[in-house]
């Protein structure tokens, strides 16, 4: 059951500064336009959820926000730096302050969890092996995987793999974390546990987060603000807190999206 959490969803945006600014972003693949003139801001310390139905461009937007793909037009600024035109060296430095967890967790199957988490530290820092070991153990502990450092990804459950992916994404102490379908393929209990982890990281470290998901429970659990994309409109059709969108929106697509659980309960005779 979803419960309103005013303290979590209030006040993050108005008192903060933008970390990410997406300006007039248009993405086309051949004749197919995925996103058109999309503009948004992500503010320091907030959890922004990008929601919408399948094929609406959620993951496409995320990839362009971290510079994995170049837009047809428009630009993306992170800390005032335009990542669509930045030189590779500047972009590389910027990416070290960003953590990304892909839907599959993207762990290297031949490496232990400790080796996976340590990889960016060995690649991008000059820290000693002993210091890296300390950081790795700390990050695994933060996500509830203390003592699992010598395990291979194949030895873990889906939820544990996601936690390991979060630990690796946090290895460089990023100021922004991106998550693509964090709860995909997980049971409700495991998904709720990950939501609590995300909230604790955000509240404890002030990390800015952008999360792509269509899972209602997670949206209400973690989001300070939601933008909703629509495939036919090729852009944003709604913005606000989850409860604002659920209770106040008059857009039929938004209402249908945010009232799915009520429809499901009615169908069960509840």
pLDDT confidence band for 2 (50 / 70 / 90): low
In this structure, of 51-55, 116-120, 181-185, 264-268, the range with the lowest mean pLDDT score is: 264-268
Is the backbone of residue 43 left (phi > 0), alpha (psi -120 to 50) or beta? Answer: beta
**Chain segment 158-206, per-residue pLDDT in tens:** 999 999 999 999 999 999 999 998 887 788 899 999 999 999 999 999 9
Nearest to 159 by CA among 118, 196, 187, 199: 187
pLDDT score at 136: 97
- Tell me how many degrees the CA angle 73-78-84 measures, rounded to the nearest 5: 30
What is the enclosing helix (H) or strand (E) of 225? strand 225-230
Which residues on neighbouring strands pair with residue 226, listed in sequence order?
A: 49, 240
3-18: average pLDDT: 55
**Chain segment 200-236, per-residue pLDDT in tens:** 999 999 999 999 998 899 999 999 999 999 999 999 9
E-strand ranges in 79-136 read: 81-82, 98-101
- Cβ atoms of residues 41 and 20 within 8 Å: yes
Q: How many Cβ atoms are within 10 Å of 194's Cβ, its own excluded?
A: 22
Q: Crossing angle, helix 188-205 and helix 158-169, to 10 degrees?
A: 20
């Amino acid at each position: 059951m979803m419960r309103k959490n005013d303290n979590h969803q209030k006040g993050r945006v108005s008192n903060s500064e933008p970390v990410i600014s997406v300006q007039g972003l248009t993405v086309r693949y051949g004749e197919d336009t995925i996103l058109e003139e999309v503009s948004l801001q992500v503010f320091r310390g907030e959890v922004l959820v990008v929601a919408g139905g399948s094929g609406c461009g959620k993951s496409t937007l995320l990839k362009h926000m971290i510079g994995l793909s170049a837009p047809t037009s428009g630009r993306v600024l992170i800390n005032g730096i335009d990542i669509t035109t930045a030189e590779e060296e500047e972009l590389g430095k910027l990416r070290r302050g960003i953590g990304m967890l892909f839907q599959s967790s993207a762990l290297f199957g031949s490496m232990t969890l400790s080796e996976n988490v340590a990889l960016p530290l060995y690649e991008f820092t000059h820290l000693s092996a002993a210091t890296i070991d300390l950081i790795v153990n700390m990050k695994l502990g933060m996500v509830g995987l203390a003592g699992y450092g010598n395990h291979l990804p194949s030895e873990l459950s889906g939820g544990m793999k996601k936690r390991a992916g979060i630990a690796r994404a946090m290895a460089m102490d990023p100021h922004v974390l991106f998550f693509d379908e964090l709860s995909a393929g997980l049971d409700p209990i495991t998904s709720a546990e990950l939501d609590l982890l995300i909230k604790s990281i955000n509240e404890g470290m002030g990390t800015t987060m952008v999360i792509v998901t269509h899972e209602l429970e997670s949206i209400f659990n973690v989001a300070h603000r939601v933008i909703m994309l629509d495939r036919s409109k090729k852009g944003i059709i709604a913005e606000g807190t989850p409860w604002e969108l659920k209770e106040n929106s008059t857009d039929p697509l938004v209402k249908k999206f945010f009232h799915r659980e009520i429809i499901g309960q009615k169908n069960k005779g509840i």
